[in-house]
Amino acid sequence: RWCTATTGMTPTGCQQAGRARRLREALAKGEPITAAIYRAGFPDSSSYYRHADQTLGMTAKQFRKGGDNASVRYALTDWVYGRCLVAESERGICAILPGDSDDALLAELHTLFPAARHEPADALFQQRVRQVVAAINTRDVLLSLPLDIQGTAFQQQVWQALCAIPCGETVSYQQLAATIGKPTAVRAVASACGANKLAMVIPCHRVVRRDGALSGYRWGVRRKAQLLKREAQKEE
């Protein structure tokens, strides 16, 4: 009950998220993989490897090396408000990044996945890219493709709450923090919004300051204003 009330997840979900967090921390410190697995709380290595993909989104060795040898396909394309980079891992769409410059978008991709293999889109991925663009070009942004959403338990809780904000409405960071049962975690909520890699699909642009002013959008306040203006318009 405490876990559900505090984090919004089941006890099993809390346990899994805690293991994943501890594993990331241990691997980031350079601990041997086997030691990191046990330190994270897995009863044995086989328990980890059965769920490795769901835990880290890649193998422990790849994670420790910044995604080394993991494959990330990407495509640069136009959308209604400029340029956009769409990226896909083996699990699904892992990044939707709006921008104005292809060079800046590619630099952001390398920052997010520093040691992964960055592969240009093939024909099948180009079809999915067109589906992504068609979705983000619409007011409601409805996307039915698999997503690869990687984040801490807290970040995922915030992102789930963001997806519950109706199109055409906004909430303040304080309201969002209260929604997830953490009214004092306003800064952490804002940080989780800023860590979102799936622009528009996870609508972090729908969060505003308490006074209604726009601020703190990862891809620029001007673009945030454009998105909110579009969503405020009633569909004919």
In angstroms, the CA 44 to CA 53 distance is 16
Paired strand residues for 167: none
Of these residues, 84, 94, 193, 204, which one is catalytic? 204
Paired strand residues for 117: 71
Do the Cβ atoms of 75 and 86 come closer than 8 Å?
Answer: yes
How is residue 165 written in tokens? 């904000």
State how far Cα 11 lies from the chain centre. Answer: 23
Residue 204 is among the residues annotated as catalytic for this protein? yes
Q: CB atoms < 10 A from the CB of 8, how many?
A: 20
Catalytic residues: 204
